[in-house]
Amino acid sequence: MLIDSHVHLETFSINEIPQIMNRAKLAGISGVISAGVDLQTSKTSIKLSNKFHNIFSGVGIHPMNIPEKINEETFLQIHKLALKSEKVLVMSEIGLDFTKNPYSRKIQFDVFRQQIRIALDLRLPIVFHSRESHEDVLRILREEKAYEVGGIMHYFQGDENIANKAIDLGFYLSFAKPLLRYPYLQSILSNLSLDKIVVETDTYPQTFKTNRNKWTEPKDLISIISKISEIKKIPFNEIEYKIDNNLRNVLNDKWKIIEKYI
């Protein structure tokens, strides 16, 4: 059962989503986990999961989407959202971003820590974002004992050292379409055990691509798995089986929710 572990379907028009999910089904993708990046998109993600049997959701505040006025009430709302539906499977998407981020590192650290604590309280796996911030992300995950629930390093583009540190901390690495074009990622993956790998497309509206057919969608999970098969020199169906099993391990008891709806 192939599940796209990280998409942003909540950013699409509701009229487009049935077509996206139909193309995914035709490609052999059974379902997706659609992540929130703030309170509103987390709510929308839950609404989508209630409307479509094969969409599941994550809730969280992305480091680039921190509200101007963030306080204890904000975190209470995230906590309530995570309990609003059994189809909320992960705390996602949370983390740190040290690129051109309008928010100070201090604010980002606090928001990240608070959401890790919610995940620990609710026993939700953590799907984390890390851009130019790997060492601090891993440090905070360690300090907050996030390994107790584990999760996924989303859209992995770190080096081999970071890959091993994340795995040692109890997290899985998620590979996406950059694997198709970056030799350094292919080299890293060639040295990794398949036991710690999952896949995603990070689907969102790619309006910078004039050809709509070239937008990344969950159906493209197949090309990522095919690339892993090529790099590892292992048959596609064996990679598929291993990745399916890895996501089951990430989600633990939450996997029963996927089986209930698919």
Non-local CB neighbours of 94 within 8 Å, separated by 6+ positions:
60, 61, 62, 63, 111, 112, 115, 116, 126, 127, 128, 129
Q: Domain residue spans in the chain? A: 2-261
Give dist(CA 140, CA 169) in Å, integer: 11
Q: What is the mean pLDDT of residues 233-247?
A: 98
Give dist(CA 253, CA 84) in Å, integer: 17
- pLDDT per residue over 141-151, tens digit each? 999 999 999 99
Q: What is the pLDDT of residue 93?
A: 98
Please give the model's pTM, rounded to 2 decimal places: 0.97
Give dist(CA 169, CA 147) in Å, integer: 6
Q: What's 2-261's CATH class?
A: alpha beta
Using the predicted structure, report yes or no on whether residue 209 has a pLDDT greater than 90: yes
Non-local CB neighbours of 93 within 8 Å, separated by 6+ positions:
6, 35, 36, 37, 58, 60, 62, 127, 128, 129, 154
Is the CB of residue 27 less than 8 Å from the CB of residue 53? no
CA-to-CA dists, residue 95 to 121, 125, 192, 204, angstroms? 17, 13, 23, 19
Q: Which two tokens stand for residue 150?
A: 């584990």
Using the predicted structure, report yes or no on whether residue 47 has a pLDDT greater than 90: yes
Nearest to 90 by CA among 156, 23, 4: 4
Mean of per-residue pLDDT scores for the chain = 97
Peptide bond into 148 cis (omega under 30): no
Q: State the Cα angle at 118 between 114 and 120, rounded to 5°.
A: 115
189 conformational bin, left if phi > 0, alpha if psi -120 to 50, beta if neither: alpha
Nearest to 148 by CA among 61, 252, 5, 257: 252
Give dist(CA 245, CA 239) in Å, integer: 10
CA-to-CA dists, residue 10 to 2, 124, 155, 234, 256, angstroms? 20, 20, 18, 35, 23
- pLDDT per residue over 241-259, tens digit each? 999 999 999 999 999 999 9
Q: What is the pLDDT of residue 102?
A: 86
